[in-house]
Structure 1
Amino acid sequence: MTTTRSSAKYGFPGGRRLAAALLVSTVAGTALVACGADAQGAQPDQVAGKSAGETAGDAKITWGRCPALAKGQTRSPHLTCGTLKVPLDYQHPGGTEIDVAVSRLSTAKPGKRRGVLLLNPGGPALGGLDMPETMASTLPKTVLDRYDLIGFDPRGVEHSTPQSCGLDDPSVSGLFPYPAADGSITKNVALAKADARQCADTVGKNLRYYNTANTARDMDGIRQALGEKKISYWGQSYGTYLGAVYRSLFQDHTDRMILEGNVDPTKVWADQVADTWGKGMADRFPDAARVAAAQDSTLKLGTSVAQVTHTYLTLADRLDRTPAAIPGAAVSLDGALLRNMTYALLLHNDTLPVLAKFWKAADDLSHDSTTAADTAVLKEVFADTPTSPGIPADNQATMFMALTCGDAEWPHDVDGYATRTTADREKWPLTAGMPANIWACAFWNKPAEAAVKVVKGGPRNTLILQNRRDNATPWESGVGLHRTLGDGSVFVGVDNGGHYVYDEGSACADKATVGFLATGHLPDKDLYCTDVIQK
């Protein structure tokens, strides 16, 4: 489902340094074995108006120092942080409370201040405390003078009462169910069942309350704690779904909204993964293949998109059958890891040259003929990611499952997954059947509440930014979100690849974004921007 526009160039959520953080980018339960008792029948509209401020009194945030960073990382002294107490279960506001960590980068021009711009980097389950500083580096004064930039770690994530299932493999990428070389999903079924059971046995029933609907309610609690009548919002990737849910539950409190790299709210989450991911990869992959083909004299991967694609698919199949040890790393390179690294490095245009070199290094590695240049590329791609103190290693993986499995119920029929995986594997060879395969969600407990129905229409206050060749949340997902919101949104499509739109080379898209945030003016009609200049 998504990743983040990270301040670090490479960062693969859940573990190793790579190209931005992963989405799944999006994303992406017969015998239910995961997290707790059955839902109590609560519908979103029954608790839609209940936010932390209303259920926990006049909550305020005391601002001070932010949590410690990983070794070697720094942040601006102007960024301050605090925590807000919110109900674990909004149906029982007097019960257990959890912490939500919040950050603030205040405007330098209080006299021009319009309000707050709340930010979410997606994931699902990426922390957002440092997002204000990251976004401030890309935004002009016309926007920065108007808003306090507000970041937060969503409930259960990083510094917001972090959750952990104690998974043996703490990486998000380890959750992606690539079939065996022969197409079998037997091992995927066993792992999905084991992960669901592990979460049930460790975190238990409380994990079901760490869903998108409750995160949106937490956001409204932040709004009230800040003393704001409305909040503006910028969500990326998974954050677009979170924003659409907030807009539906709290329409009267929504000011200006930017949604970038979008999730179709009618497909959450099984269909978002199964219906779009294969095509998204097929649309985006040629951009990287052209980069590789242009360097055939040194990379030897092929002189055309077709030849490079053939080389890549042959390499992936070879690694599926015979993984290759990575010098200096604790893991071997198999087909699944090759595909996951490819997915992550496709998220940004400026990592495509690294991806082409990585393919060459992986091909040499599979033939036991690595060069010094190959070793340098592999070291760069697989360098360890520093972790912040106090955050469980599997926190993002745990919360990735909590959200993707807990927002909406998945199919439970194992045989159906096998059938769909075989068909998907044939139709979309680049993703090898993974999107249609079985996830832990097939064995997850019934969600705590029904998925929020995203409301059509409403105020004309939402700008949708979508790249034409986005491998994480494909073009069709952005179109689907726009269709769902209807006249309440304006669609800005861009003839570009990658997961992010703003500040990625289109003056047309940037002008629409900045103009909307600074003045409130939305384009009169949907736009398609073709003016991309690669950095």
Structure 2
Amino acid sequence: MKQITKSAALIAAASGVVFGIVTPLTAAATGTPAPLKWTKCAGEGLDPRQECATVSVPMNYADPGGPKIDIAVSRIPSEKPSARRGVLLLIAGGPGGDSLDDPSGKGQKLPQKVRDAYDLVGFAPRGNAPSTSVGCDAEPGDTARTKLLPWPAADGSIDENMATARRLSDACARNGGELVKHISTKNNARDIDRIRAALGERKLAAWGVSYGTYIGATYSEMFRHRTDRIVLDSNDHPDPVRAERAWLEAFEIGVEDNFPEFAKWASAPGNPHRLADTAAEVRPLFLRLAARLDREPLPWPGADPARLNGNVLRQAMLDSLYDPDDYPVLAKLMLAARKGEVPPAPPSPPESAVQNYTAVSAATICNDAAWPRSAAAYEKGVVESRAKHPLTAGMPRNAMVCAAWPWQPKEAPPRVTDRGPSNMLLVQNARDVATPLSGALKLREALGRRAVMVTVDATGHDSYLDNGNACGDAAVSRFLATGERPAEDLHCD
């Protein structure tokens, strides 16, 4: 799963559903969509070639003739029409992220042969502005990062987490409208197939990142015959029962995999933000500082929340481990806090964006799969997690908003299988805080012969063209441009 940004903002049943086997709705079954009307995209800093349109889709796929919602779509056409193969859909992380600007952004990092072969297409998933959007009008304090990821109290109590879950759920029931009930991974996949049909494409290729790998794998399961070359990058655990609960629990392993890399960096001679003389000293230093801030939080004017306590430090640690380039953010915070000071408050995203992200994220996670309602289930998990993984202090086993969500899931979570075309390439960093290698291996196992996996000896979230290495990047680029995959699973040192 991916944050809104790496720093601050981080943050319906269809016909034929039986035991996770889905009969997809295709263009033939739903009618031929009207041609898209492409216009200039709103926003600044976009490639002038990028254009935007909207695709109308059912709010509720169980009622295809009922109310419709709009899905915002963007594209930059192939740079060499004579070499054009089709469409490469860019699927963002989240839940709560969108790829609408990605054809102008990360898409331009793609090699020329890939940009020649495909129209680069982005979209804002259902609920995400500027698509038909949702918001729960939650209390501002309940949208803080340390509330959305459920850090227990300093003594391990989860009482406030359960109270937050009830307040957020009540706000979504009161203010979220009908659409909030129909935001889910399966409906995102159905929307993608409507986008494909509206583009006039028989098949589409895709590059999904983080939570986008879950959408990509789900689309490849529900609409197998509509898939071309599929790249899944920084891969979610495909647990078919617990869905995003497995993602939350993965932070235990992800932090343990990644913190040693931060410790080596933070103890390196010559580092202007050096925290200790040896890597072995950094972990206990962090734990002592977090415990001190639990007891004696520091005022932090302009920040959200407005004080630096132990959980704010832990959240900053988690956010910084997404990308080694962000290690200095955590180190500066620790250096200041050791002196009883705070750095300048980090910038905050607009409140409207936070509310939108909160609503989409909560709806997706809670509508995908049922979560326990009893506090006892979380209390037991938090105690075990705090003992085994003190860096994450019980957060990965704690109660999110789904513990009080007012609606039950409308259908079973996606189930990934080994049935379908062999046209998928997984790329995965060995050390990834949000989607650790252990979960990616479960997805690889579930896909069987359909996939080949490239494991990259690198640190950070987002591998391809970001935090990976040249070997991994070359393997993915070759696959997208030519269809050639490694003959077997590959390890890139």
Counterpart residue identity of residue 287, structure 1? E
Number of residue pairs matched? 486
RMSD: 2.3
Counterpart secondary structure, 2:122: strand
Q: How does 1:335-346 map to 2 (within 5 A)?
A: 335-346=310-321
* Equivalent in the alignment of 2:433: 471
Q: How big is the shift at 1:328?
A: 4.4
* Equivalent in the alignment of 1:174: 147
Deviation by residue 1:309-345 (Cα, 9 ceiling, x = unmatched): 1111111122222221124446212222222222111
One of 70, 93, 112 as aligned partner of 1:141: 112
Tell me how far apart the structure 2 counterparts of residues 163 and 423 of structure 1 sit (CA, whole Å): 36
* Equivalent in the alignment of 2:395: 434
Distance 1:48 1:341, change over 3 A: farther
Structure 2 gap ranges (5+): none
One of 319, 328, 333 as aligned partner of 2:308: 333
Q: How does 1:41-190 map to 2 (within 5 A)?
A: 43=17, 48-51=23-26, 54-55=29-30, 57-67=32-42, 69=43, 73-169=44-140, 170-190=143-163
* Equivalent in the alignment of 2:444: 482
Q: How big is the shift at 1:359?
A: 2.0
- Is 1:264 aligned to 2:237, yes or no? yes
Deviates more, 1:312-321 or 1:267-276: 267-276
Deviates more, 1:128-137 or 1:514-523: 128-137
Deviation by residue 1:489-529 (Cα, 9 ceiling, x = unmatched): 00111111111111235111011101000000110010111
Tell me how far apart the structure 2 counterparts of residues 456 and 47 of structure 1 sit (CA, whole Å): 15
One of 208, 213, 218 as aligned partner of 2:186: 213
Q: How big is the shift at 1:308?
A: 1.0
Q: How big is the shift at 1:385?
A: 3.5
Whether contact under 8 Å (1:132, 1:149) holds in the other structure is yes
Tell me how far apart the structure 2 counterparts of residues 231 and 283 of structure 1 sit (CA, whole Å): 35
Deviation by residue 1:162-204 (Cα, 9 ceiling, x = unmatched): 1100011344553111111111111111111111111112125
Tell me how far apart the structure 2 counterparts of residues 172 and 403 of structure 1 sit (CA, whole Å): 17
Distance 1:39 1:200, change over 3 A: farther
One of 281, 285, 292 as aligned partner of 2:266: 292
Deviation by residue 1:427-450 (Cα, 9 ceiling, x = unmatched): 111110001011111122211111
Tell me how far apart the structure 1 counterparts of residues 430 and 271 of structure 2 sit (CA, whole Å): 30
Whether contact under 8 Å (2:176, 2:359) holds in the other structure is no
* Equivalent in the alignment of 1:12: 8
Q: How big is the shift at 1:52?
A: 7.0
Tell me how far apart the structure 2 counterparts of residues 470 and 454 of structure 1 sit (CA, whole Å): 22
- Is 1:454 aligned to 2:413, yes or no? no
* Equivalent in the alignment of 1:307: 281
Q: How big is the shift at 1:348?
A: 1.2
Deviates more, 1:335-344 or 1:299-308: 299-308
Whether contact under 8 Å (1:60, 1:84) holds in the other structure is no
- Is 1:494 aligned to 2:468, yes or no? no
Q: How does 1:311-326 map to 2 (within 5 A)?
A: 311-326=285-300
Distance 1:52 1:413, change over 3 A: farther
One of 214, 220, 223 as aligned partner of 2:196: 223
Tell me how far apart the structure 1 counterparts of residues 425 and 238 of structure 2 sit (CA, whole Å): 16
Tell me how far apart the structure 2 counterparts of residues 250 and 145 of structure 1 sit (CA, whole Å): 25
Counterpart residue identity of residue 331, structure 2? A
Deviates more, 1:89-98 or 1:48-57: 48-57
Counterpart residue identity of residue 132, structure 1? P
Whether contact under 8 Å (1:192, 1:443) holds in the other structure is yes
Counterpart secondary structure, 1:484: helix
Tell me how far apart the structure 2 counterparts of residues 42 and 429 of structure 1 sit (CA, whole Å): 45
Whether contact under 8 Å (1:288, 1:356) holds in the other structure is no
* Equivalent in the alignment of 1:520: 483
Distance 1:83 1:429, change over 3 A: same
Q: How big is the shift at 1:386?
A: 5.8
Length-normalised TM-score, structure 1: 0.86
Whether contact under 8 Å (2:456, 2:468) holds in the other structure is no
Distance 1:509 1:56, change over 3 A: same
Counterpart residue identity of residue 479, structure 1? L
If asked which structure has higher relative contact order (CA below 8 Å, sep 6+), I would say: 1
Counterpart residue identity of residue 275, structure 2? L
Whether contact under 8 Å (1:56, 1:87) holds in the other structure is no
Deviates more, 1:149-158 or 1:332-341: 332-341
Whether contact under 8 Å (1:53, 1:59) holds in the other structure is no
One of 217, 220, 234 as aligned partner of 2:207: 234
Whether contact under 8 Å (1:3, 1:237) holds in the other structure is no
Tell me how far apart the structure 2 counterparts of residues 53 and 100 of structure 1 sit (CA, whole Å): 20
Tell me how far apart the structure 2 counterparts of residues 298 and 149 of structure 1 sit (CA, whole Å): 41
Distance 1:40 1:2, change over 3 A: closer
Whether contact under 8 Å (2:274, 2:331) holds in the other structure is no
Whether contact under 8 Å (2:13, 2:62) holds in the other structure is no
Length-normalised TM-score, structure 2: 0.93
Counterpart secondary structure, 2:456: strand
